[in-house]
């Protein structure tokens, strides 16, 4: 299953689900970031003004339910 949905927080990007993998792709307006981040819910890859967040397999908190809407 492949599914994409726009973000609802006023930022540019989208949420996605490809198979069992869920995540967010976001384009920033001003700030540039480079590197990797690890949070309770996602791992992030940052390259300039673009960021990709992939949900962990067993997240410590809930991410969202993309298939509900």
**DSSP string for residues in 14-69:** EEEEETTEEEEEEE-SS--EEEEEE-SSEEEEEEETEEEEEE-SS-SS----GGG-
pLDDT computed for residue 5 by the predictor: 86
User: Residue 57: which residues within 8 A CB-CB, separation 6 or more?
Assistant: none
pLDDT computed for residue 34 by the predictor: 95
Cβ-contact 10, 26 below 8 angstroms: no
How does pLDDT run along the chain (69 residues), one tens digit per residue?
Answer: 788 888 887 789 998 988 888 899 999 888 899 999 998 889 999 999 999 999 988 877 776 655 444
List the domain boundaries for the chain.
2-57
pLDDT computed for residue 68 by the predictor: 46
CA separation for the pair 17, 26 (Å, rounded)? 15
pLDDT computed for residue 69 by the predictor: 42
């Amino acid at each position: 299953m492949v599914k994409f949905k726009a973000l609802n927080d006023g930022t540019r990007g989208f949420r996605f689900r490809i198979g069992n993998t869920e995540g967010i792709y976001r384009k920033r307006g001003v700030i540039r970031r480079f590197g990797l981040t690890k949070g309770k819910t996602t791992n992030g890859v940052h390259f300039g003004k673009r960021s990709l967040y992939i949900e962990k397999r067993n997240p410590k908190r809930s991410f969202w339910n993309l298939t509900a809407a």
